[in-house]
Structure formats: structure tokens, C-alpha cells
Structure 1
Amino acid sequence: MHDVRTVKAPSMPRLAAASLAGTAIEFYDFFVYGTAAALLLGPLFFPTFSPLAGTLAAFATFGVGFVARPLGSVLFGHIGDRRGRRPVLVGSLLLTGASTVAVGCVPTYDTIGAAAPLLLIGLRFLQGLGLGGEWGGAVLLTAEHAPPERRGLWASFPQIGPSVGFVLANGLMLALSVTLTEAQFAQWGWRVPFWAAGVLAVLGMWLRSSLPETPRFLEIGDHARVPLVEVVRDHWRLVLLTAGALSVGYAVFYAVTTWSLAYGTERLGVSRTVMLVCVMAAVVVKGALTPVAALLGDRFGRRPMCLAGCTAAAFWMLPMVTLLATGEPLLMFVGFLGALVAFVMMLAVTAAYLPELYEPRVRCTGATVGYNLGGVLGGALTPIAATALAEHSGRVPWGVGVYLTGIALFSLVCFALLPETLPARVAAVRPVREPSPAATD
């Protein structure tokens, strides 16, 4: 067993800031690809396809990253459960940053032919592999240091990172699209955000270089030999339920931040600038509400917040696509904001909820595999399915709304089958269902 007495406990604000910065950087890398896929990767890398087929092909390469994420969670989850949470933070950041910079260097189809989309797919796979490990390392760093009564709040800071990363990625894309001509943006401007990932990766490595290992990992005396085997053998039902439960979050987020950009610019004729501003504004509000929702989770429980978020999403998806179809900036913003508020009710508490569901010896693998499998179900398929459904709809893409509503109801059932994990101190004040054994650590 490790000697925990020699480890100086860092301040929670410092840990939260380092985790937030790291997830922001890694999700910047991931989102900048999604924005590029929605706006111009189709013509650049799939020019022989029709406009619709080119968009679908670009979104398919986007989906490759989600397919790779569960594999990354297995790889980095093994490292996290065997060697510690800290090595995961370093390795995942290096892999994601390097592959993102490389995307910005890939020649287009006109230069190297079919090799261009193949390189794009390979690098997107590496991006997903790195991001598959990032979430678990960052979340466990804060969750396993935090006091139980405020675990939800402190663990929510890494969950703000995706919002920051999205705004950084799209803000840079927006600035370039406004200042450059269409020809300049298509020729080299779109590459700049990918190259900027290298600078951000160096910054992230500096922030994470002195972070300590978590006390819960240091207290484990008997590490799992092959964590994935134990997770599949002992926790398979939990993994499947968490994957299904989280699929709505991914579906809603990427419907708003990726599919809607393509739909608004290509089908509705809304300018790229207007679409980016509407989506970015909604994401900023969502990021600001994340710690508020996490505090509610510390007070009322993780599971009730998730159930409320799923219910809100199920009711809001049809109004959202209706507001999107108007093409009016304010109405589109309201539609996006309502969807992301429902999403953040689940997202904010997930960082505390998932680790509490698993015992410490397999926590990194179990939590990250479930989290990233949800990405395959909700994130990888949604832009492709929504694009195909919208093609056969009128101006209002009702099929997309029905599709998202169905995912929300599916996730609602999965959350209903999961236990509550509210810490024992709070549970003494507010009766809840019996928590899992892992929730009491």
C-alpha cells in the first residue's frame, strides 16, 4: 500500500482549475474538428460526392472519434487503475494535441487524392483515443480529492471544460471566417485552429506537471490486474446502463453544436457567422450554469437531477427544431439554450455520479468506458442520422425532433434503473435509495 502521509493535499481551487484547463484544451481539439466537418471538410476531402453525401462523409469521419473513445477509455482506464490517475492526464493530452496539430497539416483531396480522407480518418481516431482517457483522469482528480458533501461541485469543474473548449474552437473559427475571404478560409484559414492546438497542449502540460496523485488511488492496496476484465465480469450491467443513460446528453449537445451548423447554413441559408454566434452564446450560458446544477446535485441527489434533465430534453426537442427552422437568430438561440439547459442538468452531476457508482480499484476503467460508450450511442450517430432525417423533411425537421425525443426517453429509463449515490452525510438529512457500496468512500 502507498504511504498517503507523505502526500501534501493541494487546494481544491487549484485542482479544479487544472482539471478545467485540461478538459478545455482537449475538448477544443475535439470540437474544432466537428465545426470544420460541419462547415467545409466535405468539399475539401470528399469533392467527388454530392453536397449531401459530402456532409455525411465528413460527419462519418467525425463519428470515428467517438468510436475510438471507448478504446481510449480501456487503454487509459487500465493505466489509471494500475498506475494512477495522474499519468492519464499527461498521456491523453499529448496524444490528442499531437493528432489535432497533424490534422491541420493534412493535404486536401486535390493534392494527394484518396490518401487525404484516409489520413483524416486515422488522425481523428487518435484524437478520440486521447479524449477517451482525458475525462476519467480529470474527473477523478477532483472527485477523489473533494469532500463528499461538495464532491458534485468540485467534480463539475472539468465539465465546464467542454464549454470553454467549444467557445475557443468556434470563436477562432468565427474570427477567421469574418476576417478572411471564402477562398482564403478554404485554402488555409481553417487549418489555423488545428495548429493552435499545439500551443494549448504545451500550456496544458505545464498546468498538469505538478499535480499530485489522488488519495483514494494511493489507499488502494490490491490493484486490479486487468481492470477491464473485472468491469465486464462484475459491472457489465452498470456499464450498459450508464452508456444508455448518457447517450441523450451527447445526442442533444452534438445536435446543437454540430448538426445545426450544417443544417442552418446549407438548408436554411443562414450565414456561418450567425449560426456560430447563436450556438456559442447558448454554450456560454450552459457553462455558467454547470456549477449551479452541480450544487443542486449535492443538495438533492445525482439521480433526480439526471431524471429531470432527461424529462426536460424529451419535452424540448420538438420545440427546438421548430425554433431552429425559423432561421431567426433570437429564436434559434432560445431553442439551443433550452436544449443545453436540459443537458447541463445531467452533465453537471455526471462527474460525481459515475465515479461513485464504481469501486476505487476499477473506477477509472468503469466510469470512462460507460461515459464514452454513451458517446458512441449519442454523439457518433446523431449528426449522421439527423442530416439524413432532415433531408426527407420539410422546412421543419420533425424527424430530427422525434429522433432526439426517443433518445431522451431511452436515457430516462436507464437513469431510472440506476441507484442514487448521494453521500451518507446528506442522505441522513434527505432519505434516498440505498447507495452503492462505492458511493461511501
Structure 2
Amino acid sequence: MHGELRDRSGPPAHDRAMSRKAAMSGWIGSTLEYYDFAIYGQAAALVFPAVFFPSEDPTVALIASLATYAVGYVARPLGAFVLGSWGDRHGRKNVLVLAMMLMGVSTLAVGLLPTYGQVGLLAPALLVLLRLVQGFAVAGELGGASAMIVEHAPADRRGFYASFSLQGTQAGSILAAASFIPLSALLSDQAFQTWGWRIPFLLSFVVIVAGYLIRRRVAETPVFLEEAARDAAPKAPVLAVVRESGGTIVRCVLMALANVVGTTVVVFGTAYATNEAYGVGMSAATYLWLPLAANVAAVVLIPSFGKLSDRVGRRPLMIVGPLSAGVLSFAYLYAVGQANVVLTVVLAILMFGVLYQLWNATFASYFQELFPTRHRVTGFAVSQNVGLMLVAFLPSVFAFIAPPGSTNVPLVIGGLTFLLCVVSAIAAWSAPETARTDLRDLDGPAPAAGSTGTASRVEVGTA
């Protein structure tokens, strides 16, 4: 499928200024989009139960509010199919502008929604609809951004440049986690519940303006334009990627199971440590700041790990990262069970903020390189978002197999986490190395024009 992979450490001339501009565009865009996507999670826990889901039972209101948060992940595979296909047919630049506009407008609209007390059930219905649009939009962000960066970057620096889009996702999560802290501290509870929570959403107007100005200034990638000139774009990229790169999709979905590390550390770890039924009794404040500290470590380390993948290859980091983080899951959960706050924080930062980032900093460039140009955005988006959707169900699975009252939580959940990390590592081991290889070698021969699944022409336009 990929053809013979020939190492070319000395690529042809590249516009390094455009490479840097593409990387900066990816960083800013990912930061803003993931800020938008993540502030919803903060609001869903802090204010949405009272604002959109009034109930005599606060537990029911909270569950309903958090369910709308999960809806965003359900919409991501659909967004991956649609926006991935758009990016492969109309261009990387085009899909990035479209995705950011969708995200910015939908998030801004959340900040303008009427409350349940004003319009009744229409309020939560509109909230769910906008969350679906958010999930749809964010599904196209990382696939389009990393494709734009990888295709502009020199072969020997693709890992380094592509890592900036991942650094942006972590920076966006930090901004989202921190956005409500000053508002909740400075405003009264009534003011915060009434209008203060809307401010982070209304700031999404910046996303709309920045997305248009920043991403319109980045040129379309040379390899995509070459595909356009050869009329090689598939009419139905989803069908083409399944037919031509089905095995690669399966490998990438399995590699994406490494995201279980974040689920174990942050999602299940929070419930295990703070839920009264588990009896650990750790302070909830610890788990307010713990993900923030881990993400700060990630932001610092991601570019270095991306650069390391250019030197030693993608596969070693894709294997070592999940395996080492998976091994530490036993110790991390044991520390939580013992209510050892210092050891818990140290292991969480090491497991999620350091070791997992070996994988996280590398997978964007690796997944992009595994798919040919003609359906690169679709292949990446589908693989990433299907993998994320599978991982999204794991907190429920963890709670089912190790419910409150269980005496062997570290062994059971640690064992399942490690097993999924092993599956991810094996999938990476079975895939070819792609670092420092020219993208034209990675593309392999394109199907003949006019054959099943190809278009007679490629549509290149602007959003």
C-alpha cells in the first residue's frame, strides 16, 4: 500500500517560512478550538445543571448536564467522515476555516442561550444541538491542522512541526480549566450563575475572527495541489480510504487506545479518589489542579518529543509511551487507594504529563504519514475519532467492573489499562516506520483516474 519506503534525509527545497506559518496556524487553531470544546465540560459540571436542567433532584440534573457533554463525542465520528472528506476534496486550508467557523459560532451561541426558566425544554434542546455541532466541528480540526503542517514541513522536521498542533490541544485544555477560576472567585454565586458563566463562551467571537484571519493566510499544501493537478482526489474519500487503507485504519484505531491513559488518570482517577462510595476521601480540590499541572508538563515537553521522533523514528515513541504509562497505572491507582496525595500527584504527572506525551506528541505526524495524500485527512480523522469514541465508553466500563466496594481496584483497572496499552503498542510495532521519508514515497501509486472511487476532477476552493 505504501510502496517501498526510501529514506530521504535531504528533501527538496521547502518554504520554511510557510512551514513555520502552518505550524503556528495549527497551534493557535487547536488551542482556540479545544478551548471552546473543553469549556463546555467545565460549565456542564459547574452551572448547567441549575441553568438548563432544573430538577428537584440535583443528581438527576447533574447526570442530564453531563450527558450533553458526552453528546459531543458521539458526533465526532460523523464530523470525521464529513469534514475529512471535505478536506481531501476541497483542500486542507478550506476544511480548517470551515471547522473553526462552525466551532466558534456554536460556542458563541451557547453563551447566548436562554435558560430553562425563560423558555422551558427548548433551552436544553438547543444546548444539545449546539453540543452536537461542537463535536462535529472539532472532529475535523486536528486532522486538517496536522495534515496542513506535515505536508508543508521538511521531511526531517515533520514530527517537530506537527507536535505543535498537539501542544495547542493541551494549551486549550489549560485555558478551559483556568477560565472559570477567576470568574467564580471574583463574582458572587448569583452573578456567576446568572451571567458570569457566559463570558468564556462569548469570548469565542475571538475564535471566529482569528480563524478567518490566521488560516486564510496559510497557502494550500504542495502535495495536495499535485494530487489536484493529477485529478487523483477520490469522489468518496471515506469509501476510498476503507478500500485502499482499511488495514491502516484498524492499526490507527488500535493505536488510539493509548488514550486510555488519560481516562484512567483524570476521569476514573477523579471518581475513585473523591467519590464517597469508594471511601478514599481525597479532596476534590486535588483533582481540580492535578489535570492542570499534568497539562502544563505536557505543553512544555511535547515539542521536544516531536523533535525526538524525527531523530529516532515514530514507532519507538509510539511503543514506549503507552507501555511505560500503562505499567505505572498500577502504582498510580494504588497511591489513590492509599489516599497518598503527594505520590498520586507525582505519578499522575509522570504517567499523563510525561510518558503518555511520548505517544501524544508523535501520533499526529505518524497517522498522517501512514495515509496517502488523496485521503490523508479522512483516514486520520476517522481513525482518531473512532478511537476516541471507543475510549469514551471506558469510564462506564471501569465503574461496572470495579464498582464502589471493590477491594482490588488498582489491580483490575490497572490491568485493563495496561492491556489496552499493550494492544496500542503492538499495533504501532506492526506498522511501518515513516520518519524522514518523502511524502511522495509514502503516497504510493494512485488509482487510475476514472476508476471506482476517484473523481474526474478535484475541487479546490476556499471556505
TM over 0.5, shorter chain:
yes
- Segments of structure 1 that go 5 or more residues without pairing to the other structure are 1-6, 426-434
2:21–2:218 CA contact under 8 A, matched in 1:
no
Q: Residues 159 and 405 of structure 1: is their aligned pair in 2 closer, same or farther, counting only changes over 3 Å? A: same
Q: In structure 2, which of residues 420, 423, 432 is the aligned counterpart of residue 419 of structure 1? A: 432
Which amino acid counterpart does residue 347 of structure 2 have in structure 1?
Answer: G
Q: Which residue in the other structure is 2:256 paired with?
A: 246
- After TM superposition, give the deviation of residue 57 of structure 1 in Å: 3.7
CA contact (8 A) 2:100 2:207 kept: no
Report the AA paired with residue 252 of structure 1. Answer: V
Contact 2:101–2:211 (CA<8 Å) still a contact in 1? no
Deviates more, 1:166-175 or 1:11-20: 11-20
Where does residue 196 of structure 2 map in the other structure? Answer: 189
Q: Distance in 2 between matches of 1:36 and 1:388?
A: 26
**One of 47, 62, 79 as aligned partner of 2:69:** 62
- Whether 1:214 and 2:221 are equivalent positions in the alignment is yes
Distance in 2 separating the partners of 1:119 and 1:263: 33
Please list the CA deviations of residues 244-282 of structure 1 after superposition, one character each: whole Å capped at 9, or x if unmatched.
Answer: 211222x33355455555666654676665433222111
Letter aligned with residue 371 of structure 2:
Y
Structure 1 equivalent of residue 385 of structure 2 = 372
State the Cα distance separating 1:236 from its structure 2 match: 1.9
Mark the structure with the bigger radius of gyration: 2
Change (3 A) 1:190 1:391: farther
Partner residue in 1 for 2:451: none
Match of residue 21, structure 1, among 23, 28, 49: 28
Higher RCO (CA 8 Å, separation ≥ 6 residues): 2
What one-letter code is carried by the residue in structure 2 that aligns with 1:88?
V
**Gapped runs of 5+ residues in structure 2?**
1-13, 447-463
1:77 is displaced (CA, Å) by 1.4
Counterpart selection for 2:89 from 82, 95, 103? 82
| Partner deviation per Cα, 1:203-245 (whole Å, 9 max, x = no partner) | 2322222110001101111211211111121222221221121
* 3-state SS of 1:156 partner: helix
| Cα drift, residue 78 of structure 1 | 1.5
Residues 38-437 of structure 1: pairs in structure 2 closer than 5 A: 38-48=45-55, 54-220=61-227, 221=230, 222-249=232-259, 251-257=260-266, 260=269, 267=276, 274-325=286-337, 330-340=342-352, 341-378=354-391, 380-386=392-398, 392-393=404-405, 398=410, 400-424=413-437, 437=442
Q: State the superposition RMSD in angstroms.
A: 3.0
Partners in 2 of 1:358 and 1:22 — Cα distance? 23
Cα shift at 1:416:
3.1
Change in CA separation of 1:440 and 1:14 when aligned onto 2, cut-off 3 Å: farther
Give, in whole Å, the separation in 2 of the partners of 1:120 and 1:387.
27
Which residue type is aligned with residue 261 of structure 2? V
Identity, % of aligned positions: 34
* Alpha-carbon distance in structure 2 between the residues aligned to 1:190 and 1:265: 25
TM-score, normalisation: structure 2: 0.82
Which stretch shows the higher mean deviation, 195-204 or 294-303?
195-204
User: Deviation at 1:172?
Assistant: 1.0
Secondary structure of the equivalent of 1:60? helix
Deviations 1:39-63 (A, max 9, x none): 4434544444856555444333222
CA distance in 1, matches of 2:208, 2:220: 21
* Contact kept in structure 2, 1:64 and 1:128, CA below 8 Å: yes
Tell me the TM-score normalised to structure 1 length.
0.86
1:17-40: CA deviation from partner (whole Å, max 9, x where unpaired): 111000000010111112233444
